[in-house]
Amino acid sequence: MNILDIGVDIVEIDRIKDAINKNERFLHRLFTDNEIKYFESKGFKTETIAGNFAAKEAISKSIGLGIRNYTFKDIEVLRNSLGKPIVKTYNNLSKICIEYNVLEIKVSISHSEKYAVANAIAITKE
C-alpha cells in the first residue's frame, strides 16, 4: 500500500457555531443524514460538528483536489463502536477514489476549547 497524499485542516469552533445559527440549512447542506443523527446523539455539540467539518476538509486535501467535482455530502465521517472516525465516500467522490486507486481514507479528529483539527491520509493500492 502507498499514500496518495495527506491533508490537515483546523477550524474555529465559534465560526461553525455562527454558521449554524445564521443558516438553518447549514447542517443539511454539508452533512449526510447519518452524520446529523450522530450529531444529535452527541447533543449537537458544536465541537463535534466542527471536528467533522475539519475532517471533510482534510479528506478533500488528502485526495489532492480540494472540493472539486464532488460535494461535502459525498464524504461521510461516522464513528465505530469505539468512537474511531470512519470515512465513507459516495457519488462522484467514490468514482474519483476508484480512479485514483484509493483503498481507504484514514482520519483523526481532535479539538480544544476554541479549535477543531483533523488530519487525513488517502491510502492507495500498490
Q: Which residues are annotated as a binding site?
A: 9, 57
Please state, in angstroms and rounded to a whole number, the distance separating the CA atoms of residues 108 and 106.
Answer: 7
Return the H-helix or E-strand segment holding 78.
Answer: strand 75-79
Closest CA to 9 of 48, 61, 44: 61
C-alpha cell at 60: 478533500
Binding residues for Mg(2+): 9, 57
Please state, in angstroms and rounded to a whole number, the distance separating the CA atoms of residues 79 and 61.
Answer: 21
Return the H-helix or E-strand segment holding 50.
Answer: helix 46-63
